[in-house]
Amino acid sequence: MAQENPVVSVIINCRNGEKYLKECISSVLEQSYKQIEIILFDNNSTDLTKKIVDSFNSPKIRYFHSNIDLSLGKARNKALELTLGDYITFLDADDIYLKDKILKQLNFMKETDYEASFSGYYEINSIGKIIKKNIPKISSGDIFEKVLKKYNVNLQTIMFKRQLLESLSLSFDELFNFSEDGDFFLNICIQRNILVIKEPLIKYRIHSEQDTKKKYHLVSKEFEITLNKLKRKFPREAEKYNKAFEFGFRKLVYYDFLNELINGEVNQAVNLISKVKFYDFKFFLIWLFLLVTKNKSITLKLLNRSNEK
């Protein structure tokens, strides 16, 4: 029988995130669901992170500090090992939980008996204004194939039972510095059905200093590693989802294309997308539009990447 009021562990990984950290922590402490702990793992910050954490003086916050720089994957694993909750979820230092995030997600999971879930989210700008609403277009159940083809799962929206972490021996790839979250969640999706919550439960901040933009060149490299690992580890599933894997490998070129486009290398971007233009109609349209216009900004806008500058 499920525990009536289980403890939920909220992992906040942070490195020099002082600008938005107070708002981030407040959004967790002000949750309508109160049976929580915050594992704040400070990855060798040199700013005021520790002072901000101490200012809350909250017994719900358990602060840990690394004296050396860790990869994001390793830092997330260190935080995971410190959790005590029956359910685990995440929040990065520049993002925000909506007030009922934990309560709603926990209730949905308890009612449906799923072991893992994710939800929609709002995108906000640097001052907190909502600029976009993202609602999952897929339904609960076996979502692996659809998520592999188009990954649009925000780590901050994921929640899973501790027993899942233990039964699947889950961990983040410690060599990864960009897509450790996608690698982690795809390992869950290929083994379990997933609850999809079709409403926003968090606010994901888009801003010029965010780590994501600085590391986009790693997307293709790390996603290729993920695809190969999944094929080796789950050969039966790899055969079952063969077409999705084929699409995933082709999409590596698309990620390289995006990186070149974001960095203003339009001609190189055109050359890259031309390699896969006949595999998918979307790729063909992208190639044709960019070939004719050579317009970086409009192309990024059409790809819903207008915030990438």
Q: Which residues pair with 41 in a beta bridge?
A: 13, 64
Q: What is the mean pLDDT of residues 71-78?
A: 94
H-type alpha helices, 7-160: 18-29, 49-56, 72-82, 101-112, 144-149
160-201: pLDDT as tens digits: 999 999 899 999 999 888 889 999 999 999 999 999 999 999
Cβ of 26: how many Cβ atoms within 10 Å? 12
3-state class (DSSP) for residue 167 = helix
Between 44-53, 143-152, 194-203, 215-224, the lowest mean confidence (pLDDT) is in: 215-224
Give the amino acid at 125: N
Q: What is the mean pLDDT of residues 112-117?
A: 95
The residue behind tokens 């939920």 is 8
Task: Measure the CA–CA gap between 190 and 192, rounded to whole angstroms.
Answer: 6
Q: Is the pLDDT of residue 13 over 60?
A: yes
Under DSSP, the state recorded for 157 is G
Task: Measure the CA–CA gap between 296 and 293, rounded to whole angstroms.
Answer: 9
259-269: pLDDT as tens digits: 899 889 999 99
Q: What percent of the chain is modeled with pLDDT above 90? A: 82
Helix H or strand E encompassing 164 = helix 162-167
- Per the document, the length of the chain is 309
pLDDT, residue 3, reads 58
Report CA torsion sign: 307, 93, 177, 191: negative
Q: Is the pLDDT of residue 1 over 50?
A: no
pLDDT, residue 256, reads 92
